[in-house]
Amino acid sequence: MPWGRVPSAAARAAYLRLVAAREAVARGERTWASLGEEFFTDDAVFVDPAWGRVEGRAAIAAFMDESMAGLDDWTFPEVWTVAEGDRVVSMWWNRLPGERPDGTPYQAAGISVLHYAGDGRFSYESDLLNMAEVHELMKDSGWRPSAAMHVPPGAPNRDLTPPGGWPV
């Protein structure tokens, strides 16, 4: 579906269902892969700042499980969401366990840009966050990954181009 052809309400509703499913993952009720399977189109593109570009629903589902392994005690609370047509932009936290001495959480902001393709699915997501800040938080908090954690590829493809190119 071409960009700009879907009502904002449909895009926002689908995204809020994705957020609710993400919270179910945090509670141990779903897998990360199930999000890829349910919420992305067959030809979807997902771009992660550490892992790079992932293409296709099956690859996105596998990537979600692989990239999130070992982060079971992290949460990703949603802060705000804006939808305009089929575009969704959201701000959320990468929140590590524990608190700073002043009682504030160890967290770094993340921004997601998505394209809603209809039928409850997205054809594009690009997550943006400051990986240097995330690494600083891990050090400051004393958080250590479990043995299940995977290392991102050394030279990921960070091409942000959505399927079919950029809208005009």
For residue 1, the model assigns a pLDDT of 47
Q: What ranges do the domains of the chain cover? A: 8-141
Tell me the pTM: 0.90
In Å, how far from its chain's centre is CA 46? Answer: 8
70 to each of 46, 66, 111, 119, 120, how far by Cα in Å?
A: 20, 9, 22, 32, 29
For residue 168, the model assigns a pLDDT of 46
Tell me, which fold does domain 8-141 have in CATH?
Nuclear Transport Factor 2; Chain: A, (3.10.450)
pLDDT truncated to tens, each residue of the chain (168 aa)?
455 565 689 999 999 999 999 999 988 999 999 999 999 999 999 999 999 999 999 999 999 999 999 888 899 999 999 999 899 999 999 999 999 999 999 999 999 999 999 999 999 999 999 999 999 999 999 998 877 888 888 899 999 988 888 774
β-strand partners of 118: 121
